[in-house]
Structure 1
Amino acid sequence: MIISMRKNAARAEIDSVIQRIEDFGYKIHTIEGEERVVIGAIGVGDTSACLEALEAMNCVEKAVRISAPYKFVSREFKPGRTTITVGGNVHVGNSEFVVMAGPCSVESEKQILESAELAAKGGAKILRGGAFKPRTSPYDFQGMEEEGLKLLAKAREHTGLAIVTEVMSDNDVSLVASYADVMQVGARNMQNFALLKALGKCGKPVLLKRGLSSTIKELLMSAEYIVAHGNNDVMLCERGIRTFETATRNTCDIVACAVLRELTHLPVILDPSHATGKRSLVPALSRAGVAIGADGLIVEIHPNPQKAISDGAQSLEPAQWLDMMKSLQPYIELWKAERMSTVAV
């Protein structure tokens, strides 16, 4: 249910409505604007009695059911866009197009520091890098774990870039959160519900990647787990899905970026590196991401991709990365102009 309070409702009136909703056994989620408070109520069973009781309260302007199965992340609950602040000075989902860049894995201090400098030189605001790596083969490099997190933190001190890195287990949430600015959920863990619940309490923004064979609805339901457990700061990432096509690593569902912007208020990020698996295709898909209205990109780059321990084939070389970011600027300027006009309306 969505309960819209009357304009300038008093705190005592808001509290009385919240108490009435809780009396019916529902969980509460509020959005407090300058003039009006909107209350979301989630629970199991028929909402008719609760809705009728709320509509009878003078301080309530309107109380309606949310038809989408994902409640808190739906546009029904919040028609406007969510802006997520990362590292204190980066704002994702507003009028700032945010690029995240870095290597697939943290391999050494020299490699991650060079990657961070390269990312910053190209205009990235957030450094990506894996300290914990979920690999298909148990014999592949699994990451440097906490030592990798320490190196990411050192790269942040060196460049000022915020950090996004993957967390694989609910047991590692506290550890990763002590280093990272953004907690990444990889495609294989999109429906790891114990992890999603723990991320709801971690106090850090989350980048949730779409599963290899998951629908848009399933992605939104996974985001709902995180928000319903207390964390509103979720970014959704389209990184390609598994199809019968073999020409690319995955099949980029580029229209998913537009669909998600219709269905949810959460920011949408495109990952052109995993979607294609080929560095030659990354610039073109990045332009498509800007054009279709994504809020940002997450791109793999490496100082020397030929020597990368993982995902070297899809990582941009330094010159490719800098050229791509330069070529993206006219598209990003058009993107910003469109966003500003939308905000003005």
Structure 2
Amino acid sequence: MGSMSEHDRKRRHFSSLSPTPEPAKKLPFLPISEDKKLDIAVLQYQNQKLTQKLETQKLEYATFENKFSQLKERQQSYDSTLAVVKKSWEQLVNDLESRSERTRESNRKAYSRFVSSTDDGSSSTVQDVFLSRLLQTGATESSSSSHFANEMVQHREITSEKAKNILNNILTFINNFRCLKDGFHTALLKKLRGDVSCGQMLSNDMEVESKNLRLTLSELHLKHKSLASVFRIQRDLDAKNKAELKQLKGELESTVSELEENNHKLATLKVEKDAAKGAVLPVLTVGNTNIPNDKIRDKQKDLQDMESSLKELLNRASTRLVELKSLHEERIRLLQQLCDLQNLQKLT
């Protein structure tokens, strides 16, 4: 409401400033010189330009006011987000302070246990060692003074105190961890100095064992190569046997079809032979025996040829069957070898 009233007030102010054409008063007609006419025309032109400029500024003002209201609406959402971020940041600082305090206490207890277990007569505390290291490295002059001074200016006093506590706990933890590491290193060196011969023997044994392992691995690698080559050979043989078996199956099928065709022809010839024998007897009684006897001999010859060709085809089929059986047995044997090689390769 305040912005709208201000907007109305400024609009009224602009409207009051804008020149409004006044009703022309009836003035007595006086002669006007040329200079005055020129001055009046210039003033009217300037007045027109100022009016146009004022209208442009009004439009710009309205545009800026609209943008300002939009920015104000956006700022409201940003304010809520900023409040959530501020709350989350405070919670994060509190959690970090509590966790750093717990970490510092646990690290201090571990270091005190280590110092009591080593019992080397050193009476310096963790704080003394920490202060001495800071003085030696010059960290007190560069790391925290300017940082904490800036935080005191920028943030509240509680947040700066929490940050100081967190940093102090982190630095204490780092110092304790470093001292603990140095102590472990010293104790380990003391223990290893007494066991130099044992360590050397152990290293020699490990070296011999590593050599043996390398030799074993090289042998296994060579064996794997040989098995892989055998596997490839067996695979090629199996493919070749499969191709031959397929070809023999085709030949067997063609032979069987030929046998069936010959059996059909043989059956037809037998039927014709039986019919010819039945027709010969009445002809012989008549006395005309030359022509039927010739026909019978031709039929018998054809029959004998068919029987011989049938026997030959049967022999060929039996030999093909024997070959197929042997090839099938060879294929089974190769498949078994291939399976054994695959199992051996999986085991290695």
Q: Does the pair score TM above 0.5?
A: no
TM-score with structure 1 setting the length:
0.14
Q: Per residue, is there more helix in 1 or in 2?
A: 2
Larger Rg: 2
TM-score with structure 2 setting the length:
0.14
Q: Which has the higher contact order (CA 8 A, sep 6+)?
A: 2
